[in-house]
Amino acid sequence: METIQMLKTLCQANGVAGCEDGALTAAETICKDLGPCRRTVHNSLICEVMKGKEGAAHLLLDAHIDEIGLTVTHIEDNGFLRVAQCGGVDRRLVMASPVVVHTAKGDLSGVIGSVPPHIQSGEKKNPKIDEIWIDVGMSGEEAKAQIELGDKISFVGPFTEMENNLVSSKAHDDRCCCVAIIKAAEQIKAYWEEHHLEPISLTVLLSAQEETGGLGAQTASFETDPTQAIVVDVTFGTTPEIADKHCGDLNKGAMIGMGATLSRRMARKLIEVGKEQNIPYQVEVMGGGHTGTNADGIVKVGAGIETCCVSVPLRYMHTPIETISTVDVDNTAKLIAAYAISELAR
């Protein structure tokens, strides 16, 4: 499947943290020819791409499949829904947004209501999440008959193709990275088969609940027990307002993470193969002893897993118009595949 179609399929599927089933179903369809897939107890998807002999190197490729959203906390007698956030929802951007409420009886379209500016007081122009409401067009009796407390709510963000290889959608964080590691795994597997090499173990992990703390990646990496892990997530893409913050430029390749908890050796190897094979890359310094990605959990699983972080630059993070470059996704896949072949092919 072409990159653009994979992105559209995954990003437009729904999978709020803790309720990733829609996105997982879409991912299982994409991965069906890559290797056997299974879901963990915490609803991460593990795809066993290659299985090496005992003692063989085992490379884990991780990207999280969950997206930010909301969850129903209360149903008013007049049918309006009160909510809490699932992940880091930017409350400046939610007002007047279209949403989908996911219930056991089916999906419901809704909108996040707002007070008209004519009657707003200053302090209510940017209400807190627990002060907003969702209108699904139902009476209280109808809403309570179909909607349950705890039902998840996703934002609507259409897939839009732009100029210069850019595409906008909801859930590029982190579905564009899911696409990157799936494509990397395809390239690695094809190389091993073409050259009849002794298989390594290669696992693709599309992990759940990163936006709510990283539970999925930490437990699944314990289960799969890799010797190395490459975590792929998004990072801040350059825009006029943050051009001086050492962000990543779109269309200039993935960002290779340098941080205290990350493997300096793996990062240097990624840089080396990028130079040798003319695969564009950028360098991202991740200070403060953490990365804000699944790498923070994976690196300390068991006796410790050698881990590095590769990031795709993304504009407008945690909004329904997240914007990335398809070329960056393809080059991220190429860089990871080149690393695996250079590092592990014997």
Boundaries of every domain in the chain? 3-67+170-344, 69-155
pLDDT on residue 242: 85
Q: What is the pLDDT of residues 52-72, one digit of tens each?
A: 999 999 999 999 999 999 999
pLDDT on residue 125: 64
Could you tell me the pLDDT band of residue 120, with boundaries at 50, 70 and 90? low
pLDDT on residue 124: 56
- CATH code, residues 3-67+170-344: 3.40.630.10
Q: What is the pLDDT of residues 293-310, one digit of tens each?
A: 999 999 999 999 999 999
Q: Is there a catalytic annotation at residue 67?
A: no
pLDDT > 70: what percent of the chain?
Answer: 97
pLDDT at 117 over 80: no
CA distance 68 to 28: 21
- Rounded to the nearest integer, the mean pLDDT of the chain is 94
Amino acid at 219: T
Q: What is the pLDDT of residues 149-160, one digit of tens each?
A: 999 999 999 999
What average pLDDT does range 209-220 have in this prediction?
96
Q: What is the pLDDT of residues 331-342, one digit of tens each?
A: 999 999 999 999
CA distance 82 to 335: 44
**Do 73 and 84 form a contact (C-beta atoms < 8 A)?**
yes
Torsion on CA atoms 122, 109, 88, 213, rounded to nearest 10: 150
**Do 63 and 181 form a contact (C-beta atoms < 8 A)?**
yes
Active-site choice (210, 284, 322, 343): 210
CA-based diameter of the chain, in Å? Answer: 71
Torsion on CA atoms 290, 264, 186, 171, rounded to nearest 10: 20
- Superfamily the domain 69-155 falls into: Peptidase M42, domain 2 (2.40.30.40)
Could you tell me the pLDDT band of residue 126, with boundaries at 50, 70 and 90? confident
